[in-house]
């Protein structure tokens, strides 16, 4: 069992630690993307897109370099997203629980929120990568989008199933309370 105070303090610490890092890393990724898409790749195009060592076009090479840089940044962001989603799960657990919380329940909330965080991060990453991938091979951007949609649907179904367990428990508790209130109200009606 985990106390409410422990969950609250851990969640507060993780939000304060990780959220600023995520913001800074997204700004860095955006600046790299901005310079690449609006300055470096068009500059390579004005040079008539020469080939590098006769193997690859300069625009494709620049796109590839920027993709690698963005992958490194998004991997760093992923660790922080995990921390933030765990903190949000801690707050959600506190909001929907009374007293001490079992580690199992906290773990379910963390897994559910983590899955949602993965989907959000993947969609944001795809939006960053889209013009770069399309600059290398346009069809690849479409294939990746289809794979992303299928993966997101599967992951969101998993997250939904995790939270459906919690919703079913709450609904069962609510039904029991309603039944109890009905039973308590019946004798009063008969006496009148």
pLDDT tens-digit map of 71-92: 999 999 999 999 999 999 999 8
Whole-number pLDDT of residue 53: 63
pLDDT digits over 110-165, tens only?
999 999 999 999 999 999 999 999 888 889 999 999 999 999 999 999 999 988 87
Percent of the chain with pLDDT over 90: 52
* pLDDT score at 77: 94
Q: Which residue carries 């998004």 as its tokens?
A: 74
Cα distance between residue 48 and residue 23, in whole Å: 37
Cβ contact 15:84 at 8 Å: yes
Per-residue pLDDT, 54: 64
Residue 189 has pLDDT above 80, yes or no: no
Higher pLDDT, 96 or 54: 96
| pLDDT confidence of residue 124 | 94
**Which two three-digit tokens encode residue 108?**
């379910």
DSSP-derived letter for residue 57 is: E
- Round the average pLDDT of the chain to a whole number and report it: 87
pTM, entire model: 0.78
Q: Report domain extents, the chain.
A: 4-191
């Amino acid at each position: 069992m985990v106390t409410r105070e422990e969950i609250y303090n851990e969640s507060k610490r993780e939000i304060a630690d990780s959220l600023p890092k995520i913001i800074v890393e997204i700004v860095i990724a955006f600046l790299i993307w901005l310079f690449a898409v609006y300055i470096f790749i068009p500059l390579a195009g004005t040079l008539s897109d020469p080939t590098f060592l006769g193997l690859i076009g300069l625009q494709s090479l620049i796109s590839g370099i920027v993709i690698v840089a963005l992958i490194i940044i998004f991997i760093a962001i992923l660790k922080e997203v995990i921390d933030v989603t765990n903190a949000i799960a801690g707050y959600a657990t506190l909001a929907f629980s009374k007293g001490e919380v079992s580690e199992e329940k906290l773990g379910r909330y963390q897994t559910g929120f983590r899955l949602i965080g993965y989907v959000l991060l993947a969609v944001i990453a795809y939006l960053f990568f889209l013009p770069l991938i399309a600059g290398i091979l346009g069809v690849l951007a479409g294939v990746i989008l289809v794979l992303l949609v299928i993966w997101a649907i599967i992951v969101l179904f998993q997250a939904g199933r995790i939270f459906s367990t919690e919703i079913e428990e709450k609904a069962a508790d609510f039904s029991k309370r309603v039944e109890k209130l009905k039973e308590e109200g019946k004798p009063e009606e008969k006496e009148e």
